Structure 1
């Protein structure tokens, strides 16, 4: 399946909220809940604008993952960017109807290419120990597992070649 990533825009708020609501139960099987207030339109819009500000400030990059039909199928982000260390932290999620199609793998590849062009050389990731699919995505994208004593997460690091 062909996909592409595009930077999050102000006009994406409603579509993104619908995507998050539609996939809430699925996502919460793997990651902690974002809380009930996250799904309230007014709260979501404020948070959406905060994400756009982070992008404008250069501290984070937020992308939507779209398929060939331009449907929103997921998200991939680089946050907590440190340009001195040339590092950041990746996060991603793919909607339930679209898992198992290689979308997360492709989206992470696309993000890695984007951020390397911006000078980012090291990317950190973490996933819950139960989220084997996410662990496979990271390993396929050449992330290396890091040792950590945090009981619920597996930590990874990627270095540009």
Structure 2
């Protein structure tokens, strides 16, 4: 079973490989990070780890038993009991319920470890897989229409105190 781990410097090589191997796959459903992201990867990751150390963000990776990163699951802009959820899962790991199970686990961590009470998320209208993950994990549409890198999307929110019934057959 994959393990959700807090991001740390030892993850750098595997995380870069994850981003490079899945770049084209991700670009089909979320905005591409651009070449600069990869050129300056080490510096960007150091900045993210500094934000995490300051408690502004909480970054996680989903790692298999071989140390391969299967996904990223992040809580960003943590303040006043709230944070924004973001995630991406490797193409080879999709369709197995890993995203849903990991988002659920992160909701628990958000409440128990980070003291967060409300999580927000957003996805584009043309990303039904992400919409399904969010609703199965207890997020509800807020009705807020958003533009995500020029693409129309919708905001979601979830209270970490909500008890969500997980009888939908997903992991």
**TM-score bracket for this pair, using the shorter chain length:** over 0.9
The superposition leaves residues 52-111 of structure 1 with CA deviations (integer Å, 9 ceiling, x where unpaired) of 0011000000000123444210110000000xx300000001000110001100110111
Partner of 1:150: 146
2:138 maps to 1:138: no
Q: Greater share of helix residues, 1 or 2?
A: 1
Q: Which of structures 1 and 2 has the larger relative contact order (alpha carbons within 8 angstroms, sep 6+)?
A: 1
Match of 2:73 in 1: 76
Structure 2 CA distance for aligned equivalents of residues 93 and 29 of structure 1: 12
* Aligned match of 2:164: none
Q: Deviating runs (4+, > 3 A) in structure 1?
A: none
Decide which of 101, 106, 113 is 1:106's aligned counterpart: 101
1:93 is aligned to 88
Looking at structure 2, the residues matched to 131 and 123 of structure 1 have their Cα atoms a distance apart, in angstroms, of 19
The 5 A counterparts of 1:3-152 are: 3-40=2-39, 43-82=40-79, 85-117=80-112, 118-151=114-147, 152=152
Gaps (5+ residues) in structure 1?
none
2 CA distance for matches of 1:92 and 1:30? 12
Q: Measure the CA separation in 1 of the matches of 2:41 and 2:83.
A: 24
Let me know the Cα RMSD of the aligned residues: 1.1
Aligned residues: 156
**Which consecutive unaligned segments of at least 5 residues does structure 2 have?**
162-171
**Conserved 8 A contact 1:3-1:106:** no
State the Cα distance separating 1:4 from its structure 2 match. 2.0
DSSP-derived class of the 2:144 partner: coil
Offset at 1:149?
3.1
